[in-house]
Structure formats: structure tokens, C-alpha cells
Structure 1
Amino acid sequence: MSPVADRIVLSFAPSTADGDPWSGIDTEWIADELRGDTYRQYLRRARGGPVAVGEEWDEFVSCGCATPQDVVLRVERVEGGTVLGDATTLDVHPRDDAEAVSQ
């Protein structure tokens, strides 16, 4: 069995039809939702298992009043193992910020 990763850095970008992923999007609000304990627990369960840098996951966050915002999460860095597990720390950043963090 592969070792559980200590930390995984994820970047996110909203998925929009107009081609500009940041057009009219409240990035801080999305980041807060993605960093919440409930959402991280969901990701550990839904995406648990082997992960690799460059993987992309189509997800969404609630914008309230049953209005979802589609986002694309990308694995930027995996530290200390290769499996997303219950003990893995998930470090989520907007795409531009995560590229700096992952280096």
C-alpha cells in the first residue's frame, strides 16, 4: 500500500463559459468555502486514494440559495506520500497564488 500524503497543495480556478475564469467571481468567498472543514472532508472521501501532480478535479461550491459555482481543482504538489487520506492536509489556493506556493 502506498503511503498517505502529509500535504497536498491544490489550486482552483472557476469554470466559466465566457473564457475568463475570474470574471465577476468572488475569489475570497470561493477560497473560504474550499478551505472549510466540511469541504475538505468531502474531498478526502470523494477523491481519496492515489493522487498525482497535474490531476484536475471538476467540483463546485455553493454560492447560497442553491446556486453552485463550478471550479476546477488541480493538484500542484504532493508531499510525503502518494495517497490522499484522512490525515492529509489540504492546502487550497487560487490558481495564480498556488503556482507560487508549489515551487
Structure 2
Amino acid sequence: MEHSSDAVTARDGSVGSDATVDADEPDAQTAARLVLSYPEDLSDWGRFQVEKPAFRAFLRKTREQAEPGDVWEEFVGVGCCGNTLDVPLRVESVEGGSRIGSETEIDYEVREACGLDGSWRVQSAGGPRRS
């Protein structure tokens, strides 16, 4: 059996004929852009947490794949109340492949309220107005 010198074994075990493969380059299976949504009743503090770059980096490192309709319950922090806030993030769309990579852009949109109750009234617009 002859073997071509330019045969390349892909991550999935298939053999291709590309002469060069760069492991750091996004491939056709990697999502270029991922749009997630959070509920309208998420507090300003909760929105601040999920939209910051560190949280986006966390998602890129902890989530391997995304398909439209997936829902991820994500812990976003412990506030002054000592209670946790878990936010249901829903995958609205994926551009490119389904694999999430280090270069996948993550954007957010707001969806309908879902009765989110994380005992965070002190950090929301509906919370107390005194210190």
C-alpha cells in the first residue's frame, strides 16, 4: 500500500491530503461566532457578570460544543447575600461549526423573562434603596 507524503491525519482520525495543518488555526468545525441569550429579568449585576471578558473566556474553556437550543445553567457568582446565582444561558445561533474554540466570538441577546429568582434582590433594581 502506498502512502502519500502529504497525507495528514485529522483530529477525528480521518486522513486528508492537505500538506499543512496548523493546530492553532480554527478549522471548519470550530464556531466563528456563538450567540447566547439570557432572560430579561436578569439583574444589572448578573448581566455585568455574564458579559465581562473573563466569563466569555470561562465559557470557551469549559464548553466544548454548542447547538442552537442548548441551555446551560451557569454559576455567575456569590454576592453579599451568600446565595449563588445560576443563569440559564440559551444558545440562539452558531456560525461555523459546533465546536467552541479559543477564537470563538461570544455575543449576547436578551430573551423573554423566565422568573429568574436567585435571591439577589439587593443587587437588582427591585432591591432595597437603603444601605
TM-score by length of 1: 0.70
| Alignment CA distance shift 1:58-1:95 (3 Å) | same
Deviation of the 1:85 alpha carbon: 0.9
Q: Which residue of 2 aligns with 1:55?
A: 70
Residue type at the aligned position of 1:60? F
| Structure whose CA Rg is larger | 2
Gapped regions of structure 1 (runs ≥ 5): 14-20, 97-103
Q: How many Å separate the matches in 1 of 2:108 and 2:47?
A: 7
Deviation of the 1:59 alpha carbon: 0.9
Deviation of the 1:75 alpha carbon: 0.3
Deviation of the 1:10 alpha carbon: 0.2
Residue type at the aligned position of 1:53? P
Q: Which residue of 2 aligns with 1:29?
A: 45
Q: Which residue of 2 aligns with 1:7?
A: 33
Q: How many Å separate the matches in 2 of 1:85 and 1:67?
A: 31
Are residue 40 (structure 1) and residue 66 (structure 2) matched?
Answer: no
**Is contact 1:7-1:80 (8 Å) kept?**
yes
Residue type at the aligned position of 1:12? Y
Q: How many Å separate the matches in 2 of 1:92 and 1:61?
A: 15
Are residue 91 (structure 1) and residue 107 (structure 2) matched?
Answer: yes
Secondary structure in structure 2 of the residue aligned to 1:9: strand
Structure number with the higher strand fraction is 1
Residue deviations 1:13-52, cap 9 Å, x none?
Answer: 3xxxxxxx83xx52x32222111111111111111x2211
Q: Give runs of ≥4 in structure 1 deviating > 3 Å.
A: none
Aligned length: 85
TM-score by length of 2: 0.57
Gapped regions of structure 2 (runs ≥ 5): 1-11, 13-27, 113-131
